[in-house]
Amino acid sequence: MHARVKAEWSSHPDTIETYIGVVSSIDHDRAAKYIRELLNEPANASQRFFNVALAGHARSIVQGWAK
């Protein structure tokens, strides 16, 4: 399920931010694992999937962690 949602939501920059927000706000035993995977995601084309230098990515993960 996780892989399917990721594939669907990572097809557009806006939905990537939504995916980042959802993953970072999961209240589950595996939340830390999912966030670690997100941060360690291999490069996609010329940039990483998660890029803390992008305001939307940074904002989404911080808002998720804060919940």
pLDDT of residue 43: 56
pLDDT of residue 48: 62
Mean pLDDT, 10 residues at a time, over the chain (67 residues)? Answer: 77 84 86 82 62 84 79
Q: Which two tokens stand for residue 30?
A: 């595996």
Cβ neighbours, 10 Å, residue 37: 15
pLDDT of residue 35: 81
Three-state secondary-structure class, residue 3: helix
